[in-house]
């Protein structure tokens, strides 16, 4: 129970069902957290909204709020390059000890360079799901990893990832997460230089949505992509009511333990100093994103 919400999650495939006897959902702690653990990354993506680089800092993982997390909270761990953090496995073990469901997000190059290590975490059940940010068509290491691990999710960015790259994985019965283009960090400068291409890429992806739906086992979106791609126009009303998870900061939040701050989302300009209690932090950001898709 989370406030007035009864939440069921299938720990094998990630399916989540919320139910309440009231007219609205009112959570008191976050079900899902985006956690940034490092600013270190040597890939140098020009559009990185986190601004990570090869000299970036690693976070101190000895933060008290970890001890206040509820079992079965979903923790999406990212960076930077998560595998570069010297204490990443210690963190995964700590979260597993609290029955927190840890997922990690990797660039395709990072997965390729750390394939066996990441597979080991999956095999030991320290990592429940692996998000792979893909940028090149049909990378063989990504395809092999996804074939071995059904909880692999491809991450693509509206307006940035080419449709050729997206559709090149459409023969594998795979899960796809489409993220909105974040005009934030280095992404803001990239957008200034490439606005026409990004905007046209978003329009092209919207026009291709129905075809994308037909090629993947699961297609999901963050709220930014839902707005940018007008996804509601491509879904019937019953499906939308069943699957839409609500505004950001109603059940989710963002925490950056590198800078020791938290916010509603990774692109929220309003940031707060890290607190010792996850409930206190969630109460601070809950309901601050007042839009609905």
44 and 101, same domain (yes or no): yes
Domain that holds residue 138: 134-245
pLDDT at 110: 97
pLDDT at 124: 97
In a domain, 144, yes or no: yes
42 and 58, same domain (yes or no): yes
Q: Which of 245, 263, 278 is the last residue of a domain?
A: 245
241 and 173, same domain (yes or no): yes
In a domain, 7, yes or no: no
pTM metric for this prediction: 0.95
pLDDT at 287: 83
pLDDT at 46: 87
pLDDT at 288: 85
Alpha helices in the chain (DSSP H): 88-97, 108-113, 115-123, 140-148, 163-167, 186-207, 209-215, 223-228, 237-243, 278-285
- Structure tokens, 105: 């997000």
pLDDT at 291: 58
In a domain, 150, yes or no: yes
175 and 187, same domain (yes or no): yes
In a domain, 11, yes or no: no
97 and 176, same domain (yes or no): no
pLDDT at 172: 82
Residue 83, helix vs strand vs coil: helix
Long-range pairs for 109-118: beta carbons < 8 A, 24 or more residues apart? 109/43, 110/43, 110/81, 110/82, 110/83, 111/141, 111/142, 111/145, 112/139, 112/141, 112/142, 113/83, 114/83, 115/141, 115/145, 117/83, 118/83, 118/145
pLDDT at 147: 94
**Total domains, the chain:** 2
Give the residues of the chain that fall short of pLDDT 50.
none
């Amino acid at each position: 129970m989370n406030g007035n919400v009864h939440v069921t999650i299938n720990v094998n495939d990630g399916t989540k069902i919320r139910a309440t006897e009231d007219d609205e959902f009112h959570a008191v702690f976050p079900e899902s957290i985006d956690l940034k653990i490092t600013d270190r990354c040597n890939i140098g993506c020009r559009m990185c909204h986190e601004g990570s680089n090869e000299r970036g800092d690693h976070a101190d993982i000895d933060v008290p709020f970890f001890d206040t997390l509820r079992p079965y909270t979903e923790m999406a761990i990212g960076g930077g390059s998560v595998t570069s953090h010297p204490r990443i496995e210690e963190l995964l073990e700590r979260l597993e000890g609290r029955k927190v469901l840890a997922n990690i997000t990797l660039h395709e190059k990072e997965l390729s360079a750390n394939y066996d290590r990441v597979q080991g975490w999956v095999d030991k059940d320290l990592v429940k799901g692996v998000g792979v940010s893909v940028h090149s068509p049909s990378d063989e290491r990504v395809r092999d990893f996804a074939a071995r691990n059904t909880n692999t999710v491809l991450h693509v960015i509206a307006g940035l990832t080419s449709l050729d790259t997206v559709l090149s994985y459409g023969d594998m019965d795979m899960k796809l997460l489409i993220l909105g283009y974040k005009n934030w960090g280095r992404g803001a400068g990239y957008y200034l230089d490439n606005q026409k291409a990004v905007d046209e890429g978003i329009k092209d992806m919207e026009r291709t949505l129905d075809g994308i739906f037909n090629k993947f086992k699961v297609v999901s979106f963050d709220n930014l992509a839902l707005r940018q791609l007008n996804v509601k126009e491509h879904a019937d009303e019953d499906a939308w009511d069943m699957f839409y998870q609500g505004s950001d900061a109603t059940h989710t939040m963002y925490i950056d333990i590198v800078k020791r701050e938290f916010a509603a989302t990774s692109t929220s300009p309003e940031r707060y100093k890290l607190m010792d209690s996850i409930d206190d932090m969630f109460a601070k950001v809950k309901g601050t994103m007042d839009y609905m898709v």
